[in-house]
Amino acid sequence: MSLLEINGLKTYFYTQEGVVKAVDGATYSVEEGETLGLVGESGCGKSVSALSILRLIPNPPGRIVEGEIMFQGRDLLKIDEEEMRKIRGNDIAMVFQEPMTSLNPVLTIGRQITESIELHQDLSGSGARSRAVDLLELVGIPSAGERLDDYPHQFSGGMRQRVMIAMAMSCNPKILLADEPTTALDVTIQAQILEVMANLSKEFGTAVIVITHNLGVVARYADNVNVMYAGKVIERASAANLYETPHHPYTVGLLNSVPRLDQGRDEKLIPIEGNPPDLANLPRGCSFSPRCDFKVDRCLEEYPEVSSAGEGHTVACWEWQNVRKRESSAV
Ligand SMILES: Nc1ncnc2c1ncn2[C@@H]1O[C@H](COP(=O)(O)OP(=O)(O)O)[C@@H](O)[C@H]1O
Ligand code: SF4
Ligand SMILES: [Mg+2]
């Protein structure tokens, strides 16, 4: 049994423009100690996926309409709100995008971390303080003991993000959800933050789900990656396989559009042409078809079946074998 199993999850928003299918049939699992990347352009349903796991979808207009979220054998969609509250922040913790708005500017870093420790663990006073130092060391903050009395503005963006991760880890969560934790940071710092999370995951067995639009960076630190397009997982593979042999035209496009850590700064980035899809008005057939260079007639009629492209590698595209052929002959 996996730590987390998501089966056929659908989360819709009922708006004046129509039904926005933000997550539309996502199925995947996450193991203990695994770092999973959820990747895709803005608006493809990444945040809604994470908020669905925590059952924090604003209703109205949103609702989880179908599916299962099995966590340690229990369906989170079937338990009552009281039980769900115990799971949030204890078993499943979340780090949000902007650490400056999540940290309180008028409290010291030490106070904010010890508050969180006191809430979740049977520790207070000097015990909580020394645990706070341990946590800051774990996330790689130099001279952690001396920095406890500093305020958030005295930390750089990358260091604030580390503090947020330390706070989230203070309850020893089974799952850490990190929603675009590094977007505002430079690529090298982004990589360092992801490395911190991947290390915590290996050391404590915490499953980490990292949401990002930068496939180039996450591919190096995640074990597996789900690529999302229009509310669906269109390709899933180990990070190494996805990086080396992407099969879906959208994944190929994403890799060409972001800086890769293994290439120089002057590499040419090619944005994916066309507009992101309108989730309330998706085309018939494959959602990516309006932007796809590989499309054939069938793509305009039928949504592609999920095919297996090797161990642990799945892809939803009718033409993936031809995409691969063209890609390898272009190299
Ligand atoms: N509260 C809401 N009301 C209506 N639509 C929403 C709401 N939250 C998210 N959505 C829609 O759901 C889709 C997916 O959003 P989101 O998961 O935030 O994307 P991202 O991949 O950028 O994190 C978007 O089209 C967004 O407009
Ligand atoms: S199914 Fe067709 S339109 Fe969709 S990504 Fe594959 S080739 Fe392109
Ligand atoms: Mg988001």
For 258-302, how does the pLDDT look when each residue is reduced to its tens digit (9 = 90+)? 776 665 556 678 888 899 999 999 999 999 999 999 999 999 999
**CA 31/CA 25 separation, integer angstroms:** 20
What is the number of structural domains in the chain? 2
- 218, 193: one domain: yes
- 297, 219: one domain: yes
- 41, 149: one domain: no
Taking the alpha carbons of 197, 202, 205, 208 in that order, is the dihedral positive or negative?
A: positive
Q: Ligand 2 in contact with 319 (CB < 6 A)?
A: yes
Give the pLDDT score at 78: 97
Give the pLDDT score at 258: 77
Give the pLDDT score at 331: 58
Look up the pTM and report it.
0.93
Ligand 2 atom at minimal distance to the Cα of residue 286? 4
Residue-number span of the structural domain to which 116 is assigned: 100-172
Q: How far is the CA of 26 from the centre of ligand 1 (A)?
A: 15
**CA 224/CA 243 separation, integer angstroms:** 11
Q: How far is the CA of 280 from the centre of ligand 3 (A)?
A: 17
Given 157, 172, 187, the domain boundary residue is 172
Residue ranges in the chain whose pLDDT is less than 50: none
Give the pLDDT score at 218: 87
- 73, 153: one domain: no
- 224, 108: one domain: no
- 154, 61: one domain: no
Q: How far is the CA of 96 from the centre of ligand 3 (A)?
A: 10
Give the pLDDT score at 319: 97
**CA 126/CA 111 separation, integer angstroms:** 12
**CA 251/CA 234 separation, integer angstroms:** 9
- 82, 130: one domain: no
Q: Ligand 2 in contact with 295 (CB < 6 A)?
A: yes
- 72, 167: one domain: no
